[in-house]
Amino acid sequence: MNTFSGQFIDNRTVLNEILTGQWLISHSGLLQLGHFFQHLDPHAKSSSSEKEERQLLSFFNSDYVRIAPRNVDEIPEGTIATINMVGPMTKYSSWWMLGANEVIWQLDFLNNIPNVKSIVAYIDGPGGAVSAIPSFIDFAKRKKKPIVALCDASLSLHRWIPDAIADYQMADNNISARFGSIGVVSSWMDATKYYEEMGVKIHEVYPEESKHKNEIWRAIKEDEEKGKEMLRKMHLSPMAIKFQEAVKAAHPNLIEEEGVLTGRTFGTEDAIRIGMINKQGNMIEAMQVANALAEAYSIN
């Protein structure tokens, strides 16, 4: 079923985001992402199978049986829709990376179908780009129906997303499910020595009128610790505080024990104990909660 008319973004746009952006991502996710892009050819052509539209959406009737409507007119009243958010996320989609723009297109599509009663978002990811979260915050302002988040890995950006859009949050198991990693990281490679060994010396000249341009990176070259402190103070700390405030707003009864808001991760039982999620359950149970919330929505 055709769900939206949006287009995937050119790979160069996504690479620019990767090279210049800040990240809400777990350490393991960052390492995996780095390995992936080290072996990626940005000019490679995707195969026809890779260019097929990603199947992010599924539909279930009021008896929780999966259905396959061919168009919007075939979606019955009381339908529950599910949407998948799996893997690292950037702001823009490409053939090889899920982007927030694609997910938001799909959420808006579901949001405006009268016969879709509620939504279950299946979330399993290590995080992604800071630039991906504003779209979810904006979507929450126009959301018309309840969303239940059913999560496996819900770390960093994938922790902020359900806090931004979901009415209820669940773990789908108590073995691999992890929650938290609330924090921000900036990572870069210093290729100076590499170029020096090739006999290449890079020069930079700034006029007085541009004395603050690239000041953090210039400071890091001159005094690494001073430059890193500038980066923490001017960019990373303000973003981390916004992340913490969003989590606290979504979970007013959160137990703020050591590590909860500063980057630790928690298994299902501990995430429930500290109030980071509501409970554990499977997809059917998540749809049942979504249906109950839809009734409350209709009353209000």
pLDDT of residue 104: 97
The pair phi, psi for residue 291, each rounded to 5°, is -65, -45
The residues facing 84 across adjacent strands are 122
The residues facing 119 across adjacent strands are 81, 147
Angle separating helix axes 224-231 and 215-222, nearest 10 degrees = 150
Return per-residue pLDDT of the chain as tens, 300 residues.
545 444 444 555 555 555 445 656 655 555 555 545 555 555 554 444 444 445 789 999 999 999 999 999 999 999 999 999 998 898 988 777 789 999 999 999 999 999 999 999 999 999 988 999 999 999 999 999 999 999 999 999 999 999 999 999 999 999 999 999 999 888 777 888 888 889 998 888 989 999 999 888 888 888 889 989 999 999 999 999 999 999 999 999 999 999 999 999 999 999 999 999 999 999 999 999 999 999 988 776
pLDDT of residue 50: 42
pLDDT of residue 44: 52
Angle separating helix axes 11-20 and 27-38, nearest 10 degrees = 130
What Å distances lie between residue 189 and 38, 90, 289, CA to CA? 12, 20, 46
272: closest CA among 142, 182, 169, 198?
A: 169
pLDDT of residue 25: 65
pLDDT of residue 162: 98
pTM for this model (two decimals) = 0.82
pLDDT of residue 23: 59
113: closest CA among 87, 147, 78?
A: 78
3-state secondary structure (DSSP) of residue 136: helix
Neighbours of 102 (CB within 10 A): 23
82: closest CA among 64, 100, 63, 102?
A: 64
The pair phi, psi for residue 142, each rounded to 5°, is -115, 10
pLDDT of residue 165: 98
Map out the domains of the chain with their CATH numbers. 11-186+240-299 (3.90.226.10), 195-234 (no CATH)
